[in-house]
C-alpha cells in the first residue's frame, strides 16, 4: 500500500482566536450541531472549510478543580446576547493543488452587517450552495455559486423565512427541494425552480425533514398520520412531470407499538433501515410474566387541552391500577423551549416511568404555546417574549388536569433541565399557588447570560427588546419562592448554561430570605455525566419523596 503524507492546508490557526475546519463553541452548539466545519465536494476534488475568527469575542472563564493543589482555569470564547460575535468565512481548497485557495464571498446584502454561515451543500464539484443569515435570523439567504476556475460567482439567490434545514438538489443541479413554511404557516416540502417555490406537500401537519431524494422520489418524515403531531412516519412522493400523493411506508407497521419512526437510506436508496422507538418483545416467556407482575408499568394517556384558542397536546403516565376516583400526586416534566416537543409517541423507559410505577406519581408533559411541529402560529407565539406564554400555559394545563378529578391539589410539582429548568423556575416564581415544590437543573436565570445565536433568534438583542429581557428573569421573581420547596442543581463546569446562572438565582433567593435546597456537581458540564448522573436522580427522587409521597405533617 502506497504511503500517504499529510499536507497542512491552513497556517493561521490560533487557540481561542482563529479556528479552521472546526467550529467555535457557539457555531458548534447553535448552528452546525457538529464539531466539524469541513465539506467535501462530490468527487473529493475540492474541500470547503469555514474559518472562525473569535479574536473580539468575550470569553467565559470557569475553574476545573481536579485533584491538584490548585484548580485550573478554562477559557472559552462565548458570545452572550448583544455582545460581539465570531466572524465566519468560507474557503475552498483544491486538493490537487492545496496551496490554491479561493473564498466563497458572502453576498453584500448579508455581509454588510453581522451575519452567520448557516449551511454548506455541494451540488457538483463546480457548484456549491450556501445558506447565510443576518444576525437577527428572521430570514435565510440561499446563494448558489459556480466556480469559473478562479472565483466562486453568485448565480442564483433565494430569500425565505428562517428554516435551517439544507436544500436537496435535483438531477438538473439547479432546482432543489427544501422544507419551509407554506402560506398557512406549516412546514412543507417545496420544489424551488427559477426562483419560484412550489409546495409538494400541504395540510395542517408538518414535514420534519427530507430523508432521501432520488431521481424518481422524495422520502420524508412527517407527523401527518392520524393528525397527531407527536407521531413520526416515513412517506414517499414520486416526482417527475407531476408529483404523486404521499404514500406512507410505516403507518401500517406495528401501529400498536411503533408510532415514532425514522429511516436511513443506502446510497442509491435501494434499501433503508427503519428505526422505531418502541417496546419490543424479544422473547415471550410466560413463566417470567408472573414474576414481572410485581413490576407493573404505568399506562400512557394522551390528549389535547383547549388553551388560548389552540388544541394543545399532553401526555400522562398513569400509575399501575389507576383509579379515577382516587387522588394522585402530579409531577410536570417540562422543557417548553421554542419548537420543542415533549408530548410524543416515542417509547421511553426513564425516571418518570419509575416515579409513576413505584411511587404512584402521575407524570405529565404539556406542549404549550411556543412548542413545535404544529404550525408557525403556535410556535411563534413566544417570539420576542420568552418566559411568558410557555410558562403560563403549564399552569393553565395543571388547572385543567385538576378538573379531571384525580389530582391531589396539595401535591403538585414541576421539574425541568436547561430551558426546562428555566420554565420550572419561572412557573414556581409566578405565585400561582398551584405548586408545592419544583426542581430546576442547569436553568437559565437571565437571557442576557445566554449565548447570542440562540437568545437573539427568539428575543433580538437586549437593547432592541429591553422590556422582554427585563420581564423574563427568574431573579425578579425570587420573593415568590417562599411558598414553594425549591431544589436548584448545576454543574460547576457547565460551558453551555453557565454556573453563573444558578449563582444569580441563589443570590436573589438569599436577598429575599428564601430557604431552598441546592446541589452542585464539581467539574461536571451541562449533561452532568458520570457518577453525577446517578447521584442526581437519587437526590431528586429523595426530594420528591419528601414533597409528594411522604409530605411533612405540620
CB of 303 closer than 8 Å to CB of 373? no
Catalytic residue among 115, 188, 498, 526: 526
The tens digit of pLDDT for each residue in 29-59 reads 999 999 999 999 999 999 999 999 999 999 9
The tens digit of pLDDT for each residue in 146-204 reads 999 999 999 988 888 888 789 999 999 999 999 999 999 999 999 999 989 999 999 99
Q: How confident is the model at residue 293 (pLDDT cuts 50, 70, 90)?
A: low
Catalytic residue among 357, 418, 452, 472: 418
The tens digit of pLDDT for each residue in 223-255 reads 999 999 999 999 999 998 788 899 999 998 877
Grid coordinates given for 484: 414553594
Sheet holding 168-169, edge to edge: 168-169, 176-181, 187-193, 196-199
The predicted pLDDT at position 241 comes to 77
Examine the pLDDT at 417 and tell me if it is beyond 80: yes
CB of 389 closer than 8 Å to CB of 308? yes
DSSP 542: H
Average pLDDT, the chain: 94
**Nearest by Cα to 417 from 321, 532, 526, 277:** 526
Catalytic annotation present for 526 = yes
The Cα–Cα gap between 72 and 534 comes to 26
The tens digit of pLDDT for each residue in 319-332 reads 999 999 999 999 99
The Cα–Cα gap between 45 and 66 comes to 45
* Mean pLDDT across 525-554: 91
The Cα–Cα gap between 384 and 374 comes to 19
CB of 111 closer than 8 Å to CB of 105? yes
Examine the pLDDT at 279 and tell me if it is beyond 70: no
pTM of the predicted model as reported, rounded to 2 decimal places: 0.94
Per residue in 286-308, is it b (16+ CB within 10 Å) or e — as a string? eeeeeeeeeeeebeeeeeebebe
The predicted pLDDT at position 291 comes to 54
Helix segments in 375-462, DSSP class H: 376-379, 389-403, 419-428, 452-459
DSSP 378: H
Examine the pLDDT at 288 and tell me if it is beyond 60: no
Strand partners, 168: 177
CB atoms within 10 A of CB 322: 17
The bridge status of strand 407-417 relative to strand 328-334 is: parallel
Catalytic residue among 371, 494, 498, 502: 494
Integer CA distances (angstroms), 44 to 1, 5, 50, 126, 152, in order: 20, 17, 17, 11, 17
The predicted pLDDT at position 3 comes to 64
CB of 73 closer than 8 Å to CB of 59? no
Cβ partners under 8 Å of residue 185, min gap 6: 375, 376, 377
Amino acid at each position: 500500500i502506497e504511503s500517504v503524507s499529510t499536507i497542512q492546508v491552513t497556517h493561521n490557526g490560533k487557540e481561542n482566536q482563529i479556528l479552521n475546519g472546526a467550529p467555535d463553541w457557539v457555531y458548534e452548539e447553535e448552528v452546525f450541531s457538529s464539531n466539524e466545519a469541513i465539506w467535501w465536494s462530490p468527487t473529493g476534488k475540492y474541500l470547503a472549510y469555514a474559518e472562525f475568527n473569535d479574536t473580539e469575542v468575550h470569553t467565559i472563564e470557569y475553574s476545573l478543580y481536579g485533584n491538584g493543589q490548585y484548580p485550573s482555569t478554562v477559557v472559552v470564547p462565548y458570545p452572550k446576547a448583544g455582545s460581539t460575535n465570531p466572524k465566519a468565512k468560507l474557503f475552498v481548497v483544491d486538493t490537487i493543488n492545496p496551496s490554491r485557495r479561493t473564498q466563497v464571498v458572502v453576498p453584500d446584502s448579508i455581509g454588510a452587517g453581522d451575519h452567520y454561515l448557516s449551511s454548506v451543500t455541494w451540488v457538483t464539484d463546480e457548484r456549491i450552495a450556501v445558506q447565510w443569515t443576518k444576525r437577527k435570523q428572521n430570514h435565510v439567504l440561499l446563494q448558489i455559486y459556480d466556480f469559473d476556475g478562479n472565483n466562486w460567482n453568485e448565480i442564483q439567490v433565494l430569500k425565505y423565512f428562517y428554516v435551517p434545514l439544507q436544500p436537496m438538489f435535483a438531477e438538473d443541479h439547479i432546482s432543489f427541494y427544501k422544507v419551509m413554511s407554506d402560506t398557512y404557516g406549516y412546514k412543507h416540502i417545496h420544489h424551488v425552480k427559477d426562483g419560484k417555490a412550489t409546495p409538494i406537500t400541504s395540510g395542517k401537519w408538518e414535514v420534519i425533514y427530507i430523508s432521501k431524494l432520488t431521481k424518481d422520489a422524495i422520502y420524508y418524515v412527517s407527523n401527518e398520520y392520524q393528525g397527531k403531531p407527536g407521531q413520526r412516519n416515513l412517506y414517499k412522493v414520486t416526482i417527475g412531470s407531476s408529483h404523486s400523493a404521499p404514500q406512507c411506508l410505516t403507518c401500517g407497521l406495528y401501529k400498536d407499538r411503533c408510532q415514532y419512526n425514522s429511516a436511513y437510506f443506502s446510497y442509491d436508496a435501494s434499501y433503508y433501515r427503519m428505526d422505531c422507538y418502541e417496546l419490543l418483545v424479544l422473547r415471550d416467556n410466560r413463566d417470567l410474566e408472573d414474576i414481572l407482575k410485581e413490576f407493573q408499568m404505568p399506562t400512557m394517556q394522551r390528549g389535547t387541552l383547549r388553551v388560548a384558542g389552540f388544541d394543545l397536546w399532553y401526555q400522562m403516565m398513569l400509575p399501575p391500577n389507576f383509579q379515577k376516583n382516587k387522588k394522585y400526586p402530579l409531577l410536570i416534566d417540562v422543557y417548553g423551549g421554542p419548537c420543542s416537543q415533549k408530548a410524543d409517541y416515542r417509547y421511553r423507559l426513564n425516571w418518570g416511568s419509575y416515579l409513576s410505577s413505584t411511587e404512584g406519581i402521575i407524570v405529565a408533559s404539556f406542549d404549550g404555546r411556543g412548542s413545535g411541529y404544529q404550525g408557525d402560529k403556535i410556535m411563534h407565539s413566544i417570539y420576542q417574549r420568552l418566559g411568558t406564554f410557555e410558562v403560563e400555559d403549564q399552569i393553565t394545563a395543571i388547572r385543567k388536569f385538576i378538573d379531571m378529578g384525580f389530582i391531589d391539589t396539595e401535591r403538585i410539582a414541576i421539574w425541568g433541565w436547561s430551558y426546562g429548568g428555566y420554565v420550572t423556575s419561572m412557573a414556581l416564581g409566578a405565585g400561582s399557588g398551584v405548586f408545592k415544590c419544583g426542581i430546576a437543573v442547569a436553568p437559565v436565570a437571565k437571557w442576557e447570560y445566554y449565548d447570542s445565536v440562540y437568545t437573539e433568534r427568539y428575543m433580538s438583542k437586549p437593547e432592541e427588546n429591553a422590556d422582554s429581557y427585563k420581564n423574563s428573569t427568574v431573579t425578579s421573581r425570587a420573593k415568590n419562592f417562599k411558598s414553594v420547596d425549591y431544589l436548584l442543581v448545576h454543574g460547576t463546569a457547565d460551558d453551555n448554561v453557565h454556573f453563573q446562572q444558578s449563582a444569580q438565582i441563589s443570590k436573589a433567593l438569599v436577598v429575599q430570605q428564601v430557604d431552598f435546597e441546592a446541589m452542585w456537581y464539581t467539574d461536571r458540564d451541562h449533561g452532568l455525566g458520570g457518577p453525577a448522573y446517578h447521584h442526581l436522580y437519587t437526590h431528586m427522587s429523595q426530594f420528591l419523596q419528601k414533597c409528594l409521597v411522604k409530605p411533612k405533617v405540620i
